[in-house]
Amino acid sequence: MSELKNDRYLRALLKQPVDATPVWMMRQAGRYLPEYRALRAEAGDFMSLCKNAELACEVTLQPLRRFPLDAAILFSDILTIPDAMGLGLHFETGEGPRFERPIMDMRDVVNLPIPDPEQELGYVMNAVRTIRRELKGEVPLIGFSGSPWTLATYMVEGGSSKTFGKIKKMAFAEPEILHMLLDKLADSVILYLNAQIKAGAQSVMIFDTWGGILTPRDYREFSLGYMDKIVAGLIREYDGRKVPVTLFTKNGGMWLEAMAATGCDALGLDWTIDIADAKARVGDKVALQGNMDPAMLHASPERIRQEVQKILDGFGQGSGHVFNLGHGITPDVDPENAGAFINSVHELSRLYHL
């Protein structure tokens, strides 16, 4: 078993005692850091950055040089699987991701290959191995994937969407097509995350960015059911230690009990739910990750500190809390404020772990 100098994050996910609440930030390796913007300019475009193991490693490590974060997260994108399925992913400036060949009908789904993680997605595994080596056991490495529903939204819509008209039309008018697509994606995600674990990821997270656009009934049918399948298919122990699994559905606060019932280890919370309420509902079953509003990072360091205190108070005494933002840090945040946030968590949280 490889030794970790700081395993606070993994311990908190497994509800084991810690000396302070661990903290990391979604999108911590990203555009709010000038050193990231410089490297991205050098790489030429976003996917070139993702597909070069050395550059992906460098971007992953950048925030850890600045801040005493308790985890590193693989620098990649949730759309790697649909890209590897041959849909022609490209990123348009100001437009976000676009697919040249979106999924239109049953034939498109039947023809979709399930990518081999060490072949078509080998660049991701190379990045995981490189990052794990360069971390030298300082902090754990988080691997991740998009959820099948979230990946399907991009694949059917052809990119980002405000109304999700095409995927909802498929869900309600041709559900058999969508279920076949989601099932293929679930199988692909299981292979992908298990390969990340074998390559060195010590914890994995499933990002269900768009589950919150569904009704409660449709959420269970089209999103949660497939995350449930993935959780059941994941390697849960590797290299002599447990591999915790975190599920995060944006705007999913009303479904926490159902999410916890999948057997995952932790739930990510966005900022629209009070952490005290979430803990009262599911706290004995799973750890909780979250959940400060990312926009709070525009406030003064004093105000950020007050917010951290309120969230720590809401969770209360004991382990089982990983401090994070309720979604990703935005590009316009001053890195100094991110530092104030991280330091506040470590400093103020020690009293909750006596």
Task: Provide the H-helix boundaries in the chain.
Answer: 8-13, 34-43, 46-51, 53-66, 80-84, 106-110, 122-135, 148-157, 165-173, 175-199, 216-218, 225-233, 256-260, 275-282, 301-315, 335-349
Q: 83 in helix, strand or coil?
A: helix
Is 27 one of the annotated binding-site residues? yes
Cα–Cα distance, 297 to 264 (Å, whole number): 29
The answer to whether 31 is a known catalytic residue is: yes
Cα–Cα distance, 263 to 258 (Å, whole number): 10
328 DSSP assignment: P
Is 30 one of the annotated binding-site residues? yes
Is 154 one of the annotated binding-site residues? yes
Catalytic residue from among 8, 11, 27, 132: 27
Nearest in space to 186 (alpha carbons), one of 235, 225, 237: 225
Q: What is the DSSP string of 4-55?
A: -S--HHHHHHTT---SS--B--TT-SSTTSHHHHHHHHHHSSHHHHHH-HHH
The answer to whether 66 is a known catalytic residue is: no
Nearest in space to 234 (alpha carbons), one of 283, 201, 208: 201
Catalytic residue from among 77, 228, 265, 270: 77
CB 269 within 8 A of CB 290: yes
Catalytic residue from among 9, 36, 154, 219: 154
Is 90 one of the annotated binding-site residues? no
Residue type for position 254: M
Cα–Cα distance, 91 to 99 (Å, whole number): 9
Cα–Cα distance, 309 to 63 (Å, whole number): 23
Nearest in space to 251 (alpha carbons), one of 164, 166, 342: 164
222 DSSP assignment: I
Is 246 one of the annotated binding-site residues? no
The answer to whether 40 is a known catalytic residue is: yes
CB burial of residue 298 (10 Å; 0-12, 13-18, 19+): middle
Annotated binding site for substrate: 27-31, 77, 154, 209, 327
Annotated binding site: 27-31, 77, 154, 209, 327
Catalytic residues: 27, 31, 40, 77, 154
